[in-house]
Each structure stands twice: as structure tokens, then as C-alpha cells.
Structure 1
Amino acid sequence: MQIIADILMGMATLGAAIYCFVLARRLKRFNQLESGMGGAIAVLSAQVDDMTKALNRAQATAAGSAQQLGTVTERAEQAAQRLEIMLASLHDLSEEETEARRHRTVRRRTRSTDLEAAE
């Protein structure tokens, strides 16, 4: 019985050694920078850094644009309030006042004597 247990223990050890050897080869291929996953990971890492920098620039630009938009919106709201006040003051005027304020043009007929004097 002791011999069978030793044989099984040796086979288990041999199996573990083969398994470790296979994993070591896979890990070596995985970490190769030129052709393996290591190279892909290095390229992706560089791309992530570039995208992070681009994102930071885009956020800074967006913040500046938001500030400018806020300023322009505030100016537009102030102008709209002034226009509302002007329109309200126009509606307060009565029609008689508006009639009195209209400019009337009077056309004068030219006399033929005036034309002869001008020549």
C-alpha cells in the first residue's frame, strides 16, 4: 500500500511539474514585448495615456466654452428684459398720444412761377 501511495504521489508531482512548465512557457510568450500580449498591452497603455491627455484638453476647452456661453446667455437675458420693458412702455401709451406723436408730412405743390424763377 505504501508503494502505491508513493507512485501516486510521484505521478501527482510529475503532473504538477508539467503543469508549471506549460504555465511558465505561456507566461513567457505573454510577456514578450515584440509579438505577444505584452506588446499589445504596452501599445494599449500608450493609447490610454494619449486619450487621457486628449480628454483633459477637451474638458478644459469645454469649461472655457461653457463660461463664454454663460456670459453670452446672461447678456442676452439682460437685453430681453430691456426689450420687455420697452414693449410694456409702448403698450401703456394710449392711441391718442400715439396719434399726436406721429409725424405728418405735408406736401406742397410747386407753383409754375417758382419754377420759372429757379431757371
Structure 2
Amino acid sequence: MHRKRTEQKNDPRIIKRSPTEVAVICSPFTSSGMNSATDGVMYNFSTHGSYLEARKKFNTGTILIVRTVGHKKVSLSKEDANPRLIGLAEIKWLKRIDDKEKHRYGIGLQYIL
């Protein structure tokens, strides 16, 4: 018997996401990665990944070091964990977000460590 995709244990769409608004710095995991660092804001996270918006465009598949640098606003319940302070994550998808003041990029990350 085949199970529906939404019933699969590792389906990222059914893993609980916790809303937040956390300032982050992210840079590619390379020897020259700090030269490409950018700031951003993490808007939600789960045990397997997170969504953030950053000023700089990276390629899908890039491994990023993501470090939280401060909470702007956090709306967590007592049952929720805090977002990771630092971690490695792979960019699974990226989309450009245009507004009147600046260009940003929405980034879907999957944690590696």
C-alpha cells in the first residue's frame, strides 16, 4: 500500500515550523566565505531547516554558515525550541523579493549539522 506524500515521516511540509524574527549573518562555507557574508532575517525554523530573507543572492545548493546575531522579535510558545545559534545549511530554493526600497532574496534552507 502506498502512502500519500503528506503522510511520509520526513516530508518537510508536515514538520512543525516556529515563527520568529531573528537577525542572522550568513556566508558560504568556503575558505573565502566571509568575503561574501550578508545579513538577513530568519522568519521561521524547524528541526530540519529554516526560511530567511537576505540581501545577497546565493546559488541553490550552496552550503551556508548561518549565525544568529540577535532577536528582533520572537513569538515562541514554551513548547518551541529556540532557533540554532549557528549551523550549516544547504540552500534548497531561492526567490527574489522586490519591494520599493531594496531587493531581497527568500531562501529555503535544510540543515546539514
The answer to whether the superposition gives a TM-score over 0.5 is: no
> Radius of gyration: which is bigger?
1
**Normalised by the size of structure 2, how large is the TM-score?**
0.15
Larger RCO (alpha carbons 8 Å, 6+ apart): 2
Indicate the structure with greater strand content: 2
Structure with greater helix percent: 1
